[in-house]
Amino acid sequence: MEMVNVKINGIAVSVPKGSTILEAARAAGVEIPTLCFMKEKNEIGACRICVVEATGARGLVTACVYPVTEGMEVQTNTAKVQEARKTTLELILSTHEKKCLSCKRSTNCELQKLCLEYGVDEDAFAGYKPQYELDCSSPHLVRDNNKCILCRRCIAVCNEQYVSVIGANNRGIDTAVGSPFNAELKDTPCISCGQCTAVCPTGALTEKDDTDKVWAALADPSKHVVVQTAPSIRATLGECFGMPVGTNVEGKMVASLRRLGFDKVFDTDFAADLTIVEEANELVERIKNGGTLPMITSCSPGWVKFCEYYYPDMLAHLSSCKSPQQMAGAVIKTYYAQKMGIDPKDIVSVSVMPCTAKKFEIGRDDQSAAGVPDVDIAITTRELARMIQRAGLNFTALPDEEFDNPLGEDTGAAVIFGATGGVMEAALRTANDWLTGKDNTDIDFTALRGTMGLKQASVNIAGNEIKVAVASGAAAAKVVMDQLKAGNPAGWTFIEIMGCPGGCVNGGGQPIQPQSVRDTVDLKAVRAKALYDQDAAMAIRKSHESPVVKKLYEEWYDGFGGHKAHHDLHTSYVPRKKY
């Protein structure tokens, strides 16, 4: 590889030919501020925050797109550079709604941080200021273009997700990010993945906050309020409290939820195990009885919505199983309600999810096993963190506590649900035992691990070669679905698809990390490692061996594949019109 020698603030560094000044600076341990830049996704040099001085260049250049040359000397922090960045920030603020005290992104806003560092005058430029109505039309997201800085990061990730339901409308100072013909988001084929909220540097895009609903339920003495937490939350929640990425905070998470006042703290993992048992049973039935193959997982509501919008003629391939969130809700409102002698109408079922699409999912039809919604309120990791902070809990100092039983018991198979490939691996562990009639000890399907968008493998079970695929992110889902439309040339039998790249650990409701971190740390891999490490350390690592699952089928569902289980734990899908 041909290398180029440059100096960044006098520091000599060698970088591959074709590298940008920004890449060279990072190699030299110098961080140049950015707002619009997203590595390999949004390299457009639009915001002008990353300007530097470089030999051989005329005037200031944008470090994120300007290539280095042999012998180039770069200065990243001269008086001229600082003044240019300050002026740019003040121009951005001239059309920005500066309600920082009430903004959800306050203290975690990239624009706010830079303005503080550069000592800007927020009123340096006065004049025409466009005003926009909030778009609160969808159940998962609020768009506030009054806080938008036109960095176009949201557009880039929406394009990466293939759906491309937003773009730049109008021109000049009236330019605004929105949907075609200024349609409300609910009237577009948005899949509710929330990836746009995770990359927005300001408060222009946020999840729809439902914490007030939770506080109200907790304050109502007539309600029995229970909470469930998704597998990936334990690997990400700590980031909201300054803990290293990938720290498993399961015990502190449970302790915080109990102190918030929930009557019971359950683990969605038990329902992940339940999902695997139901999916494995469904897959075996399809194989034996000539059902629609390949079967595709249905755990991700973003993916399900994507299929309903973009491949409505392929819905028969989806497993009819509800997601773990909805299965947990169904069990809580039926089995648990009867055991506790509580009317399901008096139970408020709350879920903590990595995914903004879960807010959409709880309102879907055919998600009411007890005649009332399986789940009443879905909040994200970020919303839970805000509740913990509002309650004055010192999260890092909390003792580790355990989930309430029996709906707090899980297996290693359930834990890895949060990572792309985890659902498939968990399903194969069960299918392998069921189809061979043995308790297999070799249960690590490592070929399915990793953060790649599309993975394929061939596994031998009971003498049968089963070809499987794992896709994460809507763009990878499109690749898979187009192959199915072409006749499934790869011969897949079973497919796992997640709506978000990397799976739930990278869901749209996960903790916000600055783009500089997202560019340099593989968040998906580090977060997923925490889940695989927990799986490896657990005594029970197969879903069908879960004591709570066994008990449920013995006491409530009358064995595998029964009518009652199908009624409570399965659902249906509907074709959706794109426009």
Q: What CATH number does domain 212-569 carry, 3.40.50.2000, 3.40.50.1780, 3.30.559.10, 2.60.40.1170?
A: 3.40.50.1780
The per-residue pLDDT for range 320-330, each reduced to its tens digit, is 999 999 999 99
Task: Tell me what the mean pLDDT of segment 272-282 comes to.
Answer: 94
Residue 503 structure tokens:
């799976």
B/e letters for 245-271, b = 16+ CB within 10 Å, e = fewer, are bbbbbbebbbbbbbebebbbbbbbbbb
Cis before 294? omega within 30: yes
Given a cut of 80, is residue 579 above it in pLDDT?
no
The per-residue pLDDT for range 487-505, each reduced to its tens digit, is 999 999 999 999 999 999 9
**Rounded Cα distance, 256 and 262, in Å:** 10
Say which DSSP state 499 is in: S
Q: Closest Cα partner for 260 from 212, 325, 213, 215?
A: 215
- Going by pLDDT thresholds of 50, 70 and 90, the confidence category of residue 222 is very high
Amino acid at 370: A
Asked which of 124-128, 162-166, 263-267 is least confident by mean pLDDT, the reply is 124-128
- Going by pLDDT thresholds of 50, 70 and 90, the confidence category of residue 465 is confident
Given a cut of 80, is residue 269 above it in pLDDT?
yes
pLDDT of residue 265: 98
Task: Tell me what the mean pLDDT of segment 246-271 comes to.
Answer: 98
**Rounded Cα distance, 201 and 197, in Å:** 9
Q: What CATH number does domain 3-77 carry, 3.40.50.10860, 3.10.20.740, 3.40.50.970, 3.50.50.60?
A: 3.10.20.740
Given a cut of 90, is residue 66 above it in pLDDT?
yes
189 contacts 579 by C-beta, under 8 angstroms: yes
Task: Tell me what the mean pLDDT of segment 153-166 comes to.
Answer: 97
DSSP 461-475: ETTEEEEEEEEESHH
> Which residues are CB-neighbours of 450 under 8 A, at least 6 positions away?
420, 421, 525
Residue 262 structure tokens:
């929930």
Domains 3-77 and 212-569 share a fold: no
Given a cut of 80, is residue 561 above it in pLDDT?
no
Given a cut of 90, is residue 551 above it in pLDDT?
yes
Over 218-266, what HEC string results? Answer: HCCCCCEEEEEECHHHHHCHHHHHCCCCCCCCHHHHHHHHHHHCCCEEE
Q: What is the CATH number of domain 108-115+123-206?
A: 3.30.70.20
Residue 1 structure tokens:
């590889």
pLDDT of residue 156: 98
258 contacts 409 by C-beta, under 8 angstroms: no
The domains of the chain are located at 3-77, 108-115+123-206, 212-569
- Going by pLDDT thresholds of 50, 70 and 90, the confidence category of residue 464 is confident
Task: Tell me what the mean pLDDT of segment 121-134 comes to.
Answer: 94
406 contacts 549 by C-beta, under 8 angstroms: no
The per-residue pLDDT for range 417-431, each reduced to its tens digit, is 999 999 999 999 998
**Rounded Cα distance, 168 and 50, in Å:** 22
The per-residue pLDDT for range 500-520, each reduced to its tens digit, is 999 999 999 999 999 999 999
The per-residue pLDDT for range 345-375, each reduced to its tens digit, is 999 999 999 999 999 999 999 999 999 999 9
How much is the mean pLDDT over the chain?
A: 96
pLDDT of residue 321: 97
pLDDT of residue 61: 98
Given a cut of 90, is residue 413 above it in pLDDT?
yes
* pTM listed for this prediction: 0.96
Q: Closest Cα partner for 93 from 69, 117, 123, 68?
A: 123
